[in-house]
Amino acid sequence: MESMIQPLNPVAISLGPLEVRWYGIIIGVGIALALILVMREAERRGLHKDLFADLLLFAIPISIISARIYYVIFQWSYYSQNPGDIIKIWEGGIAIHGALIGAVITAIIFAKKRKVSFWKLADIAAPSIILGQAIGRWGNFMNQEAHGGEVTRSFLEGLHLPEFIINQMYINGAYYHPTFLYESLWNFAGVAILILLRRVNLRRGELFLSYVIWYSIGRFFVEGLRTDSLMLTEQLRVAQTISIVLIVGAIILLVLRRMKGYAKVRYLDNGA
């Protein structure tokens, strides 16, 4: 039976030497839906609807570059010997934590230039960020990457997964944990929770910090199942380490901002 399983074609369209891959299409859809969500909320919060479109013009290319730099740093033993491969981003090798670092730095500078609170922008964007991440993981699915360790077909069937997911998890003669799916579902749940938290009217910055905590908890556990992790040591995974740092850091910021009086303005309050 397994010998008859054919993986989904990662290439959506071929025009001579030009290939349009499903990975890129899915990432594009994720960005588009995230932008629609954030623009609608921006208008409700008294900001111009095009503000986030302007931000994305800078954030997207910078995030891609920072995601690549992050990956290269933790794979320096290879790239130091093959420097010509550093620019070959089309062969894979970007990291979401690197992208987030680039996006946050870009947003901080952008907010100062536009004279808008970074925390206000971050709170409004939080559900959209995790929505983009939830959708983007399906690009990994199409590429049969970012999967976990080996499992049996009966294990996957026991999860009541659709046949197309089970078959796509059959890679080089074995079935694997669909960790892309675990993280995607966790992130979709995060979207719903963050949208509900808007009604709670948290203090400014706390919606974004809640996103950081929620995403990092999920990423920590999912990363432990993956087989392609960037490693600090033989036992220590980079993403899990970063996730712990982000969880602790976000909690400390939540507490300090309240103690120091930096978070008096609430999410639903007007003003920049």
Distance CA 240, CA 177 (A): 18
Q: What is the mean pLDDT of each run of 10 residues along the chain (272 residues)?
A: 79 86 93 96 92 95 94 90 83 86 97 96 97 96 94 96 96 96 98 96 96 98 94 91 97 94 87 62
Residue 148 is classified by DSSP as: B
pLDDT tens, 58-117? 999 999 999 999 999 998 988 988 888 888 876 678 899 999 999 999 999 999 999 999
pTM: 0.93
The token duo for 127 is 């559900």
Length of the chain: 272
Cα dihedral value 109, 114, 118, 122, nearest 10: -100
Other Cβ atoms within 10 Å of 196 Cβ, number: 10
Distance CA 115, CA 57 (A): 18
Q: Which amino acid is at 20?
A: V
Phi then psi for residue 257, to 5 deg, are -65, -35
Residue 6 burial by Cβ neighbours in a 10 Å radius (0-12, 13-18, 19+) = exposed
Q: What is the pLDDT of residue 271?
A: 62
